[in-house]
Amino acid sequence: MKKSALTVLIALLPLAATAQTPSINGNGKKIEKEKMESKDYLPKIHGTIRAKYEYQTTMGAGRFEVRNARVSVTGNVLPSVAYKAEIDLSDEGQIKMLDAYARLFPTKGLTVTTGQMRVPFTIDAHRSPHQQYFPNRSFIAKQVGNVRDVGFTVGYTLPTNIPITVEGGLFNGSGLTNQKEWHKEVNYSAKAQFLFTKGLNLTLSIQSIQPEEIRVQSYDIGAYYESDHFHIEAEYLYKQYSDNAFKDVQAVNTFINYDLPLRKVFNKMSFLLRYDMMTDQSDAKTTDEETGALVTTDYKRQRLTGGITFSLSKAFRTDLRLNYEKYFYANSSIAKESEQDKIVLELMVRF
């Protein structure tokens, strides 16, 4: 599957120069016309390269890494029928098929999507790599609330004075690689976004999955405010395991970003500060060999991140990011090698 997907994407790359247009985003949109012209059928090619260097101060060791080398193809076969296929050619050295879905727009404000996708849950986990403010994602986006799956979603934007968008769907619950399995249990996720005023967003999410025998119920609330120079965001996630199989999990992500416009070399310079934390977490699958009880797969920790981002053009197009991450672990926690104090320098290019 990986080889065939890669072959298709490579074959479509020559079309990128003529196919790209700002009218279509990276997820596939409805074309606002009754009849498509020849150029409208051409696929749109997008990509993100993130190359970085990390120096871990605790070990006194460093490494270079291509964190992402994503290529996506989006387009339309009809004004109200869109598609997207995205592959990461180097997700920390691994090739992964990420998105592969078709999207219908039956009527105004309504979307129907089926295929492989990121489930509608949380704010930060839904950001694509080029939209992230920091080189390394928050605990909510990476460890606690990061889910891609195969399923079916329905989204609707309510015709109200306050823009409200809701989206919900059903999924296999077994991830991207075990698609042939049959499921008796129901796995679902739903998300609602409220845009109270310009730049102010409130997001509520709920998710219920059952990887094996234990059901995991997650709730998330987040909000952000944007102005010409500021982005302020806070998000809280709460996770429960059925039959008290594991203690409840809590995670927090808060950060502030301030943009300073520049006139020479760089378009702007951004100053960032983030605090995020998570309590002990289980993947709801790994158990103790003797007792059969769920074990901790991600240990409790806190992190403080400070950084500067230099943007060579528009935001999230060509960014040079420099961060320092300081971790705080409980005495009983076991720190992974990649989750310790470090300096991160990253170059992100979006095309």
Q: What is the pLDDT along the chain (351 residues), one digit of tens a residue?
A: 444 444 444 444 444 443 333 333 468 787 777 777 777 788 999 999 999 999 999 889 999 999 999 999 999 998 899 999 999 998 877 898 889 999 999 998 899 999 999 999 999 998 999 999 999 999 999 999 888 899 999 999 998 888 999 999 999 876 666 777 787 888 999 999 999 888 899 999 999 998 888 999 999 999 999 998 999 999 999 999 999 999 999 999 999 999 999 988 889 999 999 999 999 999 988 888 888 899 999 999 999 999 999 998 876 789 999 999 999 998 888 888 889 999 999 999 998
Asked if residues 117 and 223 have their Cβ atoms less than 8 Å apart, the reply is: no
Predicted pLDDT of residue 281:
95
Helix/strand/coil for 142: helix
Predicted pLDDT of residue 176:
66
pTM over 0.85: yes
Tell me the two tokens of residue 6: 């890669």
Predicted pLDDT of residue 315:
65
The identity of residue 164, as a single letter, is I
* Burial label, 304 (beta-carbon count in 10 A; 0-12, 13-18, 19+): middle
CATH 3.40.50.10420 fits 101-350, yes or no: no
- Which stretches of the chain are DSSP H helices? 2-12, 16-19, 139
Asked if residues 275 and 254 have their Cβ atoms less than 8 Å apart, the reply is: yes
Predicted pLDDT of residue 335:
86
Dihedral sign for Cα 309, 313, 314, 317, please. Answer: negative
| CA neighbor of 141 nearest in space, from 205, 90, 195 | 205
Strand residue runs (E) in 179-267 = 187-197, 200-209, 216-226, 230-241, 249-261
Q: How far apart are CA 42 and CA 20, in angstroms?
A: 9
Classify residue 27 by its DSSP letter.
T
Sorted by sequence, the CB contacts under 8 Å of residue 122 that are 6+ apart come out as: 140, 141, 145, 191, 203, 205, 220, 222, 235, 237
Sorted by sequence, the CB contacts under 8 Å of residue 8 that are 6+ apart come out as: 73, 85
Q: How far apart are CA 318 and CA 351, in angstroms?
A: 9
Predicted pLDDT of residue 18:
39
Tell me the two tokens of residue 196: 């109270």
What dihedral angle (degrees, nearest 10) is formed by the CA atoms of 224, 226, 232, 236?
10
